[in-house]
Structure formats: structure tokens, C-alpha cells
Amino acid sequence: MIDVIVVGAGPTGLMLAAELRLHDVRVVVLERDAEPTRVVRSLGMHVRSIEVLDQRGLLERFLAAGHTVRRGGYFAGIAKEWPTGMDSAHDYILGIPQPVTERLLAEHAVEVGAEIRRGHELVGLSQDGDEVTVELADGTRLRSRWLVGCDGGRSTVRKLLGVGFPGEPSRAETLLGVMELTASPEEVVAVMTEVRKTQLRFGAGPVGDGDGLYRVVVPAAGVAEDRAVPPTIEEFRQQLRATAGTDFGVHSPRWLSRFGDATRLAERYRVGRVLLAGDAAHVHPPLGGQGLNLGLQDAFNLGWKLAAQVVGWAPADLLDTYRAERRPVAADVLDNTRAQTELMSLEPGPQAVRRLLAELMDFEEVNRHLIEKITAISVRYDLGAGHDLLGRRLRDVRLAHGSLYGLMHAGRGLLLDRTGGLSATGWADRVDHVVDAGVELDVPALLLRPDGHVAWVGDDQRELTAGLSRWFGSPIDGAGAAAVTRRARADKQPTRERYA
């Protein structure tokens, strides 16, 4: 039987499939479309997502396919400098088109053993206490122990579950496409510079390697009844003339699409053995470029927890922490995009607030706070009272040999120990113990979850043991721990206790 069916081969589903495979979970990804999308909805990855890639050893291949930028303007398009002093070794934006991101994530998922089945549309599902049964459009039935809907804002999985999706419907719609222009680059830049003084939902910029293609964004005339129906090139021409006074001579479109500004949050993230992630659980306007990143980080939080459930060592409520941790993050993103939407209104009141906020963002602390919110490095999960690091993700830090993120590629927990006097022996099959007196942290020791968030800080073995049990389940006995070490040596892998 399949362990987990992931519905949707977008960034969220592909990342989740790869995370599950790190723990030898059998994963099948079902994707309705026969071919990967060419639609470029996202143009970049934020700081936290870049850290996630580094934690899994993927960053170099993404850097090779994109470009790094440190440019402000991510909060409501307010033009400010990129803030200094951000708490990350990767304090930049990675410019990379979404189809490239999906291709690289798919390659990684297949490399680690996930199976991707394209052209397979889910049309029905049922579940009992032991398994989920899905029905595909061709009549095929599949069974799995768990299922995760990563199938976008119009999620079939969410609808079949009957999960409510309250919020605000779209009030405005935007057209998006890639096409050729007859206008000169100089004319495009001149028009862009003038129009964007007041209309931030407009843009035209070159894509590709000098092949004459442009990515064009322009407000639509209204809200379509069915956004799944793409706009026509004539609709683009009309809206460009209405917004910019010229249609740039657009022609020969490669693809055309439309998106709205609906803001919705799923009432539940889990129903029995079925979970939701990414846009299936939350939709919001694309302001600040947060959507793809939010979905990736959902997958990063869920992957190890669902794998622990499948493998059998998960504490009783571990899987429930996915909803408890990620739904408030999504709610915060919905709020900040609502705020940005108001700040981009051309009405006098919102414009006055925008001017005031622009003044406040001249204070470095305010500018940094807003960008850290957009880029998700300020996220802190509520793990109770304790050290300021508790619940936060930890930036990459230098060790005596190598770096912290270099130790996290396998998706395991990590005890980073400066004292040399602590033990995680009973959890050696799921937690690495690294003794390093030279680590650049002003704490005796800390326990990291596989998603890089700090689960415990201190130097007391009893407190550490409680933290290990809380997040990594019951310990194995001494014989079992010894067997894990013997297997690691036989496989010529590093043993779980390492000294740097």
C-alpha cells in the first residue's frame, strides 16, 4: 500500500513528497495536468525558503538557476532600501521563475524516490480509520494510509472533505501573461516609470535570455465569473490602453492567465487521515510574493511530522501541531496582505496612511520588522515559556568543521551540544548528537527539530530528555541504540554522535 498520496505537483506538494522520502515513506504524487505549468505566477523565493533549501542541501542548484537581489519594496511596494542586520546567513531574495522552481523540486523529489504521476485527476475520496481510498477521473482507485491535498486554491480535496473556506471573495482581478511586444525597450521603461507612480498592479518586464518576451501584468476590467478561463490577447490590449495609454503592440502570447485578490483560510487543516497544505489551506493576494514561500514552509513543517506518524515513533499529538503552528502563520500572512491591499488603494485615506508608513520605514527597525515578516524569518512557534530562541528557526551558524545547515540534509533532529556532557542515545535513530565547543551560540546546548526550529535550550539532561520525548517520541532501548550505531558503521555512514 502507498503510505502517503500527495495531490498536486506544485511547489508545496513536491517539497512535501521529498521531505517524506527522507524518512523512507512511500509517496505517490498525483497531478491533474499532463505537463508541468509554464505559468510564471511567482518570481522569487524569500529568506526563509532559501534557508530551507540550504538545510536540505539544495541551495546550490537553485542559486545556479536564479539570481540574488537585495532590493526593498516588498511591503506594499513602498520603495525602501533592503534592511541591514537581518538574522540570516542568506539575507537576500532569490529571483527564480516558478516553473524553474517546480522543475528543480520535482527533480529532487524523484532523486529521493518519490513517484510523480502526471495526468491523474482525483475526483473522489473516502476514508476509514486505517486508510484513504481515492478515485481518479479514469476510474482507477488507489489506497493509501494518508493523503495530503496540495492542489491549490480551488482544491478538490478540500471540497470533497467539506472543509469551510471562509474569508473575502475577490474584489479586483489582475491579468498576467508572457507575450511579445513591438514597442521598444525604451518606450516600455518610460511608460512603466510613469504609470507605476500610481498603479502598482501594472508592469511589463523582459523574461528569458534576450528573446523578446515580456511578462505583462495589468488590472482587469472586472472580476471574471470563472478565473479558470484565461483572458484573450485582445483583453490584454484593451486593459493596457485603459491603464497605460498604449498596448505596446502586444502579440504572440505564450500563455495568459488571471488571478484575484480573494483572502480565505481553511477552517480545518486535517480531517481524519487527510490534511491540507499550501493554497489548498489558504489564499491571499500575491502582495509581497509570499504565497509559494508559505506553501513550501507548510510542507517543511508537515513532512517530518507525517513521516513520524507513518514510521511509528510520533508522539500522540505531534501531527496536530502542524495545524497549531502553521494556521496562525497563514492568518498573519492574510492580515499583512490585507494591510498591503489597503495601502495600495488610490483613495485619499489609504494614501495618507501609506505616506505615514513610508516615513516610519525610514527607521531601520521598522523596515527590518516588516521585511522579516514578509520573508518569514520572524516566525516563532508557540512552544511555551522559555529561552528567547525557543520556537524560532535557527540561522546557519559556523561550527568547528562546517556549518549547522550542512548537518541537516537528512531531515533528522539535531542536538547541538557545547558541553559534551549530554546524551540523546535513546533517540539515535532519529536525532543526531553533535558536540562542538566552538559553535557561535551563547547557549550551552539546544535541540533542533528537523524543520530547524528550536525545541529546547539548556544544559539539564532531565529537561533535555523531556524535550526529546515531547518531539521525538519514546526512546529505543540500549540494544536498539547500539544496533543503529552498528548499522551506520556497516553502511559507512557517520555515527549519530559526532564531534566537530
Q: Please state the rounded mean pLDDT for residues 93-108.
A: 94
pLDDT band at 480 (very low <50, low <70, confident <90, very high): low
Query: Is residue 137 scored above 80 in pLDDT?
Result: yes
Distance from C-alpha of 382 to C-alpha of 393, rounded to nearest angstrom? 12
Q: 27-31, 46-50, 181-185: which range is least confident on average?
A: 181-185
Note the pTM of the prediction, 2 decimals: 0.91
Q: Which residue has the higher pLDDT, 498 or 478?
A: 478
Domains of the chain: 2-167+264-374 (3.50.50.60), 172-260 (3.30.70.2450), 405-499 (3.40.30.120)
Who has greater pLDDT, 156 or 260? 156
Contact by Cβ (8 Å): 219, 198: no
Residue with cell 547500539: 482
Residues present in the chain in total: 500
User: Which cell is 388 given?
Assistant: 528567547
Residue 499's pLDDT is what? 41
Check: CB of residue 197 under 8 Å from CB of residue 189: no
What is the share, in percent, of the chain residues with pLDDT greater than 90? 76
The whole-chain average pLDDT of the chain stands at: 91
Sign of the four-CA dihedral 388, 392, 395, 400: positive
Q: Which pLDDT value is given to residue 208?
A: 67
Q: How many CB atoms lie within 10 A of CB 20?
A: 29
Q: Which residues pair with 215 in a beta bridge?
A: 178, 205
Q: Is the pLDDT assigned to residue 479 strictly greater than 80?
A: no
pLDDT level of residue 484 (50, 70, 90 thresholds) = very low
The pLDDT-based confidence of 210 (bands split at 50, 70, 90) is low
